[in-house]
């Protein structure tokens, strides 16, 4: 299914969509943890206010249909987090477009490490991560934010498939 969309940076009109898109998949597969709730309901403080970024896929009707974030953990370390695409738009390449856009954004930040935490239940997401150069590391990640995380990956661009 082809859909017309563009990738944009965070803007206040899509703030609630950041929560909506992520809460949808979290409730479908897991539970919304306290850390999720804090970040999703106040992204300005927990992501943008610390040097992070949030991107959205916006359709022709100006509706957010996907999102992804870079959360700055300090000292050039970033977490790729809160990636979501509406169920009705999955499989249309939106997740890959968001991934490529967020990797371009990361390259421009002069970061020294980009990691993510995920779950082995999310096979399509893991396949996407692997295809762009994320490599599995021992899990859980030291200092892991999430109870659901049994996957820890680090971006090594020379490992892209």
Confidence of residue 75 (pLDDT cuts 50, 70, 90): very high
| Average pLDDT, integer, range 61-66 | 96
Planar angle of CA 136, 139, 141, nearest 5 degrees: 100
Torsion angle, CA of 85/56/77/146, rounded to 10 degrees?
A: -40
| Average pLDDT, integer, range 15-34 | 94
Confidence of residue 159 (pLDDT cuts 50, 70, 90): confident
| Average pLDDT, integer, range 71-95 | 95
| Average pLDDT, integer, range 100-116 | 95
Instruction: Report whether pLDDT(1) > 70.
Output: no
Poorest-pLDDT segment among 6-10, 28-32, 93-97, 140-144: 140-144
Confidence of residue 150 (pLDDT cuts 50, 70, 90): very high
Instruction: Report whether pLDDT(161) > 70.
Output: no
Show the DSSP H helices in 30-135 as ranges.
34-41, 43-46, 94-107, 123-131
Pairing assessment for the beta strands 113-118 and 77-85 based on DSSP bridges: parallel
Q: Please identify which residue in the block is written with the tokens 């509706």.
A: 63
Instruction: Report whether pLDDT(113) > 70.
Output: yes
Residue 51 corresponds to which tokens in the numbers above? 């040097």
Planar angle of CA 158, 77, 129, nearest 5 degrees: 45
Q: Please identify which residue in the block is written with the tokens 């970033």.
A: 78
Q: What domains, with CATH codes, occur in the chain?
A: 5-159 (3.40.630.30)
Read off the pTM.
0.94
What percentage of the chain exceeds 90 in pLDDT?
A: 87
């Amino acid at each position: 299914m082809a859909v017309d969309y563009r990738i944009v940076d965070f803007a206040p009109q899509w703030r609630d969509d950041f929560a909506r898109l992520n809460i949808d998949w979290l409730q479908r597969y897991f539970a919304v943890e306290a850390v999720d709730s804090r970040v999703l309901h106040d992204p300005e403080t927990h992501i943008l206010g610390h040097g992070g970024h949030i991107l959205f896929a916006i359709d022709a009707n100006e509706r957010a249909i996907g999102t992804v974030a870079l959360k700055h953990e300090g000292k050039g370390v970033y977490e790729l987090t809160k990636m979501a695409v509406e169920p009705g738009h999955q499989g249309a390449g939106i997740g890959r477009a968001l991934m490529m856009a967020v990797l371009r954004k990361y390259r421009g930040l002069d970061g020294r490490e980009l990691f993510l935490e995920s779950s082995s239940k999310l096979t399509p997401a893991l396949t996407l991560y692997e295809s762009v150069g994320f490599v599995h590391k021992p899990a859980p990640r030291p200092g892991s934010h999430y109870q659901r995380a049994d996957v820890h990956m680090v971006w090594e661009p020379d490992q892209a498939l």
